[in-house]
Amino acid sequence: MSQVTDSAQHPPASGAAAGYVSGIRDVVVLELKQRLRSRGWYIMLAIWFILTGLVTWLTWASWNAQREAQRTYGNYVPPGSEGPGSMIFEVVLAFVLLFALLVAPALSANAVNGDRAGGTLAILQVTLLRPGQILWGKFLASWFAALAFLVASTPFLVIGVALGGMTPGHVVVALLMLAVEVGVVCAVGVGISALAGRPLFSIVVTYLAVAGLVFGTLISFGLGTGLSQGTIMANQAQSRGYSPYEPLQEQPMPMEPEYTCSGPLMERPAVHTERVAWMLAMNPYVVVADAIPYPVRATSNFGTSPQGAIESISQAARYAMAGPEGTYPCANGEAKPRYLAQETPLWPLGLGLQLLLAALLMWLGWRSLRTPAHRLARGTRIA
């Protein structure tokens, strides 16, 4: 009899884990059913699809207009730009990321306190569901609802592959990083929703948190560079000038730097951006842009410029991470490349800091959902 009682009180670890996951699944199913019954969710999804299609068409029309103007006035058309796929991909990607950061807070920032205000949260809390199951279920339901918007925008990213200039790998990486960024915002929104007492307050704070990641990181980085003034040892840079004409070879040699370094090393003022680059790494656009692989031109160290907005964002972030030691002309007597190869990625640092912030808010939200509650905010509804 004692053996039966002990086994009932202490279920196996596998059974406990399965029960915990089952509770999360029940909350997710309940939340998704409520969202699917709402007409507003379908209206938002339809508007999203129409706007993304409109942006895609306008980008394609703009590319055609630019190409016709180049042909009409006899301007030089750079090689490797035969199709508008790359331009469409980058514009749609930036647009989708922007609106995903705007939609995700609306789907998650009132997930917990909305039920608290409606008197339905207490019903879940008096069941066998644990606070973690409720919180994870709310988060996953919000994330799945937000991922539907990414699925709706996938055809327009695929157009970039169909029109040339991009590969299917670019679309896969872009969608994965967009999904992760949306998940981070949903986690932040659910955590704030569990902490705040009013849905309107949690929505505003979540939007402020997203604005802090997008714009606050840029402002903080700019202010941080003012506090990162220093010096570096460098000598004088001298231009190579124009080289005589030489016929093209079948296998061209690597391009040489545009300048040479000569003279004694002297102490010169420089901004040590590597000290505050971690602030810039938290920006969602930097995380997504730095994770997308570049074409083969990224292997050229000298004389190559970034092509496209996404590549330019990644290069700017890598310049900040490299600091004057890797970008200042003739630093330590060496010519520095104008184009930084994708050797040390910056996006894992930024994504790790974002996940740390989301985990902290989720943990604080879990603590606020524990029952019995020792202290409640004034005016908080129990049931």
Rounded CA-CA distance 156/89 in Å is 8
DSSP string of 175-196, one letter each residue: HHHHHHHHHHHHHHHHHHHHH-
From the DSSP assignment, how many helices (H) and strands (E) are in the chain? 14, 2
Please report whether residue 378 resides in a domain: no
pLDDT band, residue 85 (cuts 50/70/90): confident
Across 181-200, average pLDDT? 89
CB 156 within 8 A of CB 74: no
pLDDT band, residue 164 (cuts 50/70/90): low
Whether 240 has a pLDDT exceeding 50, the answer reads: yes
Whether 181 has a pLDDT exceeding 50, the answer reads: yes
pLDDT band, residue 197 (cuts 50/70/90): confident
Cα 374 off chain centre by:
38
Rounded CA-CA distance 210/357 in Å is 12
Whether 105 has a pLDDT exceeding 80, the answer reads: yes
CB 206 within 8 A of CB 109: yes
CB 92 within 8 A of CB 49: no
Q: Which domain holds residue 195?
A: 15-73+81-210+351-369
70 vs 45: which has the higher pLDDT: 45
Please report whether residue 302 resides in a domain: no
Please report whether residue 147 resides in a domain: yes
Across 244-258, average pLDDT? 44
Residue 214's Cβ-side half-sphere holds a number of Cα atoms within 13 Å equal to: 15
Q: Which residue has the tokens 């969710």?
A: 41
Please report whether residue 356 resides in a domain: yes
Across 159-181, average pLDDT? 83
Please report whether residue 313 resides in a domain: no
Whether 153 has a pLDDT exceeding 80, the answer reads: yes
What's the total number of domains in the chain? 1
Take residue 51 and report the two structure tokens written for it: 């706007």
Whether 231 has a pLDDT exceeding 70, the answer reads: yes
CA dihedral 268, 269, 270, 272 (to 10 degrees): 110
Whether 350 has a pLDDT exceeding 80, the answer reads: yes
Please report whether residue 201 resides in a domain: yes
Please report whether residue 136 resides in a domain: yes
CB 273 within 8 A of CB 320: yes
Q: Model's pTM, two decimal places?
A: 0.80
Please report whether residue 223 resides in a domain: no
